Structure 1
Amino acid sequence: MVDKAQAPVSKQRGDAAEAQALAHLQRQGLRLVERNYRVARGPSARGGEIDLILRDRDGTLVFVEVRARSNGRHGGAAASIGTAKLARLRRAAQHYLQRLPVLPPCRFDVVAIDGGHIDWLQGAFDGG
């Protein structure tokens, strides 16, 4: 359970990490489509959220999970994405894609921020 006193601090850190990741990706030529796309919880499943949805130069729709850790201990930021989180990301992406008239090419990226180091993992996992 999350301590309610710590929740605003964690949210601020998360927002700052997302802003840092977005700026990094925009410098690489990606364009922001949507930020913090959320899917409500269903009766049998937790909802999901996609931190950033961007469009790459070639038209690919990129779903981005941003993870930040103060250091690389315990496997670092990228290693903190578990199977339950992956399932929620996939579910949220499927929900988002259902709204589109034509399905574009897509991929899932991760931006891992460990301390001050940014690592952009393109095609970090598949949609299956």
Structure 2
Amino acid sequence: MNDNDTTTHLGQRAEDLAARFLERRGLAVIARNHRCRGGEIDLVCRDGRTLVFVEVRLRRNGDFGGAAASITPAKQRRVVLAARHYLSATGRHCDACRFDCVLLDGKRLEWIRDAFAAD
């Protein structure tokens, strides 16, 4: 396997593609790969006055379900945990927040706004 095919590299390329896609639609990327114990946020964006936490999922094939199927309730809880940590660590206040997903299945990209809720 060459280095260009590693999971980390492919994930980074998917996040870059998602960031460009969202920026072309008017969102501003303000942070990437915020990690905390127990969770991670791929992209943090601003959409007007709304803070958007974005989960990017890539699936090269559908053998185990597509990208959407990989966002399980457990994964959602980890993203929410990381979002809370981000808000606390940065001192940001969030009157309007949402959780979006950018799904990449093969060559197809899908943006799901308000994909899940914090509670």
- After TM superposition, is the score higher than 0.5? yes
Question: How many aligned positions are there?
Answer: 116
Moved beyond 6 Å, runs of 4+:
none
1:23 aligns with 2:23: no
2:44 counterpart (46, 50, 53): 53
Distance 1:96 1:34 in 2: 10
- Decide which structure has the larger Cα Rg and report it: 1
Larger strand proportion, structure 1 or 2? 2
Distance 2:15 2:92 in 1: 28
Q: Identity of counterpart residues, as a percentage?
A: 48
1:103 counterpart (74, 94, 112): 94
| Alpha-carbon shift at residue 101 of structure 1 (Å) | 4.7
| SS of equivalent residue, structure 1 residue 29 | coil
Question: In the alignment, is the contact (CA less than 8 A) between 2:51 and 2:94 conserved in 1?
Answer: no
Q: Provide, for residues 50-85 of structure 1, a one-character-per-residue CA deviation record: whole Å limited to 9, x for no partner.
A: 0000000x2100000000111345431011111221
- The alpha-carbon distance between structure 1 residues 93 and 25, as it changes in their structure 2 partners (threshold 3 A), is same
Q: Which amino acid aligns with 1:64?
A: V
Query: Which has the higher mean CA deviation after the structures are superposed, 82-91 or 110-119?
Result: 82-91
Q: Which amino acid aligns with 1:91?
A: L
CA RMSD of aligned residues (A): 1.9
| Alpha-carbon shift at residue 9 of structure 1 (Å) | 0.3
1:66 aligns with 2:63: no
Q: TM-score, normalised by structure 2?
A: 0.89
| Alpha-carbon shift at residue 37 of structure 1 (Å) | 0.3
